[in-house]
Structure 1
Amino acid sequence: MGQKPFASSADLAAKEQTLEVLADGVYALTAEGDPNVGAIEGEDFLVCFEALATPVAARQWLATLRQHTDKPVRYLVLSHYHAVRVLGASAFDADVVIAHERTRALIAERGRQDWESELARMPRLFREPASIPGLTWPTLTFDAQLSIDLGGDRGELVLRHPGRGHTEGDLVAWLPRQRVLFAGDLVEAQAALYTGDAFHRDWSTTTLDRLAALDARVLVGGRGPVVRGRDEVAAAVEQTRHFLTVLLREVDAVRRRGGGLRDAFQASHAALVDRYGGWPIFEHCLPFDVARAWDELSGVERPAIWTAQRDREVWDRLQG
């Protein structure tokens, strides 16, 4: 396979952003495989979903959103702790920053290391990194479910923790009246999965089962295009499940026959590349995915902390 540029360090081309109106007062911004963000209008306020990597990047998103609504941001919802999702939070000037209680603990435990790791892996997403004032801390956390009354006839926004998956603390935003689901990185549509901090077995079974049971009609994944229609949403969920299942199968088979981590990477790459290899960040993610799957199958319950040094060591070992 030859040596590849580290992670997404060579991905420097600008991506075209597209704002889509999913329902009355429900918005998503996609960007050709870059992280997706969203917003939901309440009667006299906004709920924003995800914060992007820097305040400068977030302000660009807000400027686009302001072409449709000038309501103030009351709530900023963070689906999980990864730097590209949270470090732009200060731009929103939100009254309340919401995350799962495990996300707050993960920020305290490994937020600084994750910031350094993701900056090195994906420098293009960190527009003017000097604008980041520090780690983002949620001001409101919950365990299982939190509902926000949107006011008027807009219904409610339900924030749920469907189980461990992409991280220990993922949450999704569900609009039952509009049947729109913001799934964070628990579901990807035509974008490869990053599973370096994952709980693959929970994610591929009970967690995805709970998301499928919502029977959404519109799904905004962590990356990739918006998915519309019952069958297409179900297919996106099952595509995510398939990636995880194949990854676990290949890594476990190598372990059982006494192979090593590089063997597991090569087997996983061969099994996944035809279907997923052309999708954004596949080559970037797979070494870290395999390393975490190997650890999990070896009995390491919680993911090891990714530091910039560990990133390079795993990359050089597997993609070298």
Structure 2
Amino acid sequence: MSWSEVGAGVFVRRYAELDLSVGLVVGGESALVIDTRGDHQQGVELARAVRQVTALPWQVAITHGHFDHCFGTDAFLPAHVWAHERCPAHLARTAAGQRDHWVAHYRQEGADDIAAALAASAPAMPDHLVSARADLDLGGRTVQLRHLGLGHTDHDLVVAVPDAGVVFAGDLVEQGAPPDFEDAYPQHWPSTVDALLALGPTTIVAGHGTPVDPDFVRTQRAELAELARIGHALRGGALSLDQAVERSPFPAATTLTALARLR
């Protein structure tokens, strides 16, 4: 894999493992790393890759507290680690369970090296917390950290680079696979995506898959809205569960997870 420059000084690195995409924004005085991969060894690899691009001091932004986005943070310390204010509580509550689940998954898949590295990893807790917005001056450019609402989790943080027209969306946007609803808020997700689009990006970096354009995001937003409507009809008795699954724009397993998350 290699870095792809999606805007001046704005880079994406895409990994075959879980089709994860991470980011790097380089300013005149410092750099911002966006997500840190899924274990301590993967974090070290990413840190070395960042140093192939820039020797500037770095900060880290975590888009949300799922293991594949943040269990590699130790490799970047000491550094400011930014996240939404609800992210530390999520990590404290779920990190051990996430680790156990995915270690078992990798062992079952025969990926014993990844399983061993993950078993020895724990997320570094973010120490710079964002409620709604924080602006970071990287030297000659400002990067915005924004919490736009409930969606993939209750603590999604997007990273906007206005001078490049790029937004790192985390898993609020998925390319190449359906959205993940395990910790999601399906009824709120469409309006959160509306707020993302209102930032006016020309390129949106999905948490998994290749960067996309606003039309792709509008299509996914419409699918999310349709799922929310189906869930409302199910709860109101206008649809059976089988009918709801049949009408969903997403696969059956994804739909069932999402419907169980409706409140």
What range is the shorter-chain TM-score in? 0.7 to 0.9
Distance 1:242 1:191 in 2: 16
1:239 to 209, 214, 219: 219
Distance 1:67 1:122 in 2: 29
Distance 2:106 2:152 in 1: 18
- CA shift at 1:212, angstroms? 0.8
Residue 48 (structure 2) pairs with residue 63 (structure 1): yes
Gaps of 5+ in 1: 1-16, 228-232, 274-285, 300-320
When the two structures are aligned, how many residues end up with a matched partner? Answer: 257
Distance 1:66 1:187 in 2: 27
CA contact (8 A) 1:53 1:83 kept: yes
Closer, same or farther: CA 264–252 of 1 in aligned 2, 3 Å: farther
Amino acid at match of 2:259: A
CA contact (8 A) 1:144 1:161 kept: yes
Distance 1:136 1:288 in 2: 30
Closer, same or farther: CA 37–103 of 1 in aligned 2, 3 Å: same
SS in 2 for 1:201: coil
Distance 1:104 1:240 in 2: 29
Normalised by the length of structure 1, the TM-score is 0.72
Gaps of 5+ in 2: none
Distance 2:93 2:119 in 1: 23
Closer, same or farther: CA 184–156 of 1 in aligned 2, 3 Å: same
Distance 2:73 2:27 in 1: 19
Q: CA RMSD in A?
A: 2.6
Amino acid at match of 1:165: G
CA contact (8 A) 1:80 1:167 kept: yes
Distance 1:41 1:127 in 2: 32
Please show how residues 147-296 of structure 1 align to structure 2 within 5 Å: 147-151=135-139, 153=140, 155-205=141-191, 207-227=192-212, 233-255=213-235, 256=237, 259-260=240-241, 263=242, 266-267=245-246, 271-272=249-250, 287=253, 289-296=255-262
SS in 2 for 1:157: strand
Distance 2:65 2:74 in 1: 15
CA contact (8 A) 1:55 1:90 kept: yes
SS in 1 for 2:135: strand
Distance 1:191 1:38 in 2: 19
For residues 235-288 of structure 1, the C-alpha deviation after alignment (integer angstroms, 9 at most, x for no partner) is: 12213213323333444545525745xx3685266x435xxxxxxxxxxxx635
Q: Which residue of 1 aligns with 2:130?
A: 142
